[in-house]
Amino acid sequence: MNAANYLYLSALLFTIGAVGVVVRRNAIVVFMCIELMLNAANLSFVTFSRINGDLNGQVIAFFTMVVAACEVVVGLAIIVTIYRSRRSASIDDASLLKR
Amino acid sequence: MIDLAIQVGQTAKPEATLFWILAPLSVAAALGMLLVKKAVHSAILMAFVMISLAIFYIAQGAPFLGIVQVVVYTGAVMMLFLFILMLVGVDSSDSLVETIKGLRPIAITAAVGFGGLMISLLGRATLGRGAVGVEAANADGNVQGIANLLFSTYVWPFEVVSALLITAALGSMVLAHHHRIQTKPTQRELSIQRFRSGSLANAAGLPAPGVFARHNAVDVPALLPDGTAAAASVNASLKARGDVLNSSSFELGNVDTSVEEEK
C-alpha cells in the first residue's frame, strides 16, 4: 500500500471539516469541525514523518495537539459565555456588530 | 495520473487491510458529522474519527502520538465537548435550514474544487525516491526519539507551549467566571419583599407539593382545603417540561379507596 493514501485521506477529512465550518450553525459542531481539520493536518504530518524517515513531523503533530487543546478550552469558554448572555449556541445569533 | 505520489515500498498487507477498512469508515463518520441533526451524535462520530486516526498513527510508526491522540482528544477534548453540550442543552439541535441563501451549494462546490485540487496535486507530486520509513528513527524507541528532539531542538517551543497552556487555563477561567451584577438578596430582604408586595397570599412561602399519605412526589400538586389542586405548589420548570402528574385522582371525592380495602 502506498503511504500517499494517508495523504489523500487527510485531504478528504480536511475538506469535510471545512464544509462543516461553513454549513453548520451550531457553534459546538463548528468547533468539532475545526478539530477535524486540525486532526487531518496532524495525519499528514505523521505521514510525511514516515515518508522522510524523520521524527520532526511527529514532534510538530504533538505541538499541534497541545495548541488544539488550548484552543478547545478557550473556545468552549467563549461559547459558554455567549450562551449565558444569549441563551443560544447558534453562530447566527451573535451578530450584533452587523447592525 | 503520473507516478503515484511518493513511491513507498509496499507496506505489509495487514496495514493495507486496516487502511481500506478504517479509512472509508472514518470518512463516512466525518460526513455523518455534517449531516446528523443532533450535536451529541456529531460528537460521537467525531470520537470515532479520532480513534481511527489514532490507529493510523500507530500503524505509521508513531505509537506515542497514537496514545496521546486517544488520551488528549478522545479522552479530554471530546469529554469537554460533551460536557459543554450538556451545559448548553442537549436538545439544542441545529435547524439545518440555511440562513444565507445559496450558501450550501456554494460551500459544496468550493469543497469539491478544493478537495479535487488537493488530491490531484498529491497525485502529481513526486519525491523521486521511495518512502524512508520511520523504523531507523525509531530504533531507540519512538518515545525516546521524540523526547530527544523535544528536549534539544524544540526545547524553546516546548517552553512557549507550556506558557500557552497556562494562559489558556487562566483565560478560560476568566471567561467562564460569572459576574454578579447585583448583590445576592438575603433571606431577610426576600421576606420583606414578599410582605411589601401587593398580595399577602404567598407571604408565608409557596405551598409544598405532594399529597399527604397518597403521593408525596414533587410532580404532584398539593391539595387545597377545598380539595382542588394548588398550582403554585409545583416547580415551574417541571410544569414547562410537562412532567406534572394530574392530581385529580387525589382530589376530595375522587379518591378511590376500594383498592386499599381489598388488600
Which pLDDT score, from 0 to 100, does residue B161 have? 94
Residue A42 CA, distance from chain mean position = 10
Residue B204 pLDDT level (bands cut at 50, 70, 90): confident
Task: Out of B53, B127, B178, name the one closest to residue A39 (CB).
Answer: B53
> Do the Cβ atoms of A25 and B157 come within 8 Å?
no
Confirm whether the ipTM is greater than 0.90: yes
How many Å apart are CA B61 and CA B7, to the nearest integer?
18
* Torsion angle, alpha carbons of B56, B62, B63, B67, to 10: -70
pLDDT tens track for B94-119: 566 667 778 888 999 999 999 999 99
CA distance B21 to chain A (A): 12
Lowest-confidence pick of B1-5, B41-45, B180-184, B242-246: B1-5
B160 pLDDT higher than 90? yes
Give yes or no for a contact between B43 and B85, defined as CB atoms under 8 angstroms apart: yes
Query: Do the chains contact at B119 and A73, CB–CB below 8 Å?
Result: no
- Neighbouring CB atoms inside 10 A of A18's CB total 20
- Find, among A59, A16, A91, A7, the residue nearest to B65 by Cα: A59
Highest mean pLDDT among B88-102, B172-186, B231-245: B172-186
Chain B residues with CB inside 8 Å of A88's CB?
92
Which of A46, A50, A63 is facing B133, going by the closest CB pair?
A50
CB B8 within 8 Å of CB A51: yes
d(CA B106, CA B114): 12
Q: Which domains does chain A have, with CATH numbers?
A: 4-89 (1.10.287.3510)
pTM: 0.76
Q: Is any Cβ of chain B less than 8 angstroms from the Cβ of A65?
A: yes
B212, HSE (Cβ side, Cα atoms, 13 Å) = 7
| Nearest residue of chain A to residue B148 (CA atoms) | A55
Q: Is the pLDDT score of B4 beyond 50?
A: no
Q: Which three cell numbers stand for residue B185?
A: 438578596
Q: Is B68:B48 a contact under the CB 8 Å cutoff?
A: no
- Closest-CA distance, B152 to chain A, in angstroms, reads 12
Residue indicated by cell numbers 518515545: B143
In chain B, which residues fall in CATH 1.20.120.1200?
11-90
SS3 of B82-99: HHHHHHHCCCCCCCCCCC
Which class is B11-90 in CATH? Answer: mainly alpha
Distance of CA A85 to the CA centre of its chain: 26
Residue B78: its H or E element: helix B78-88
Least confident of A36-40, A68-72, B227-231: B227-231
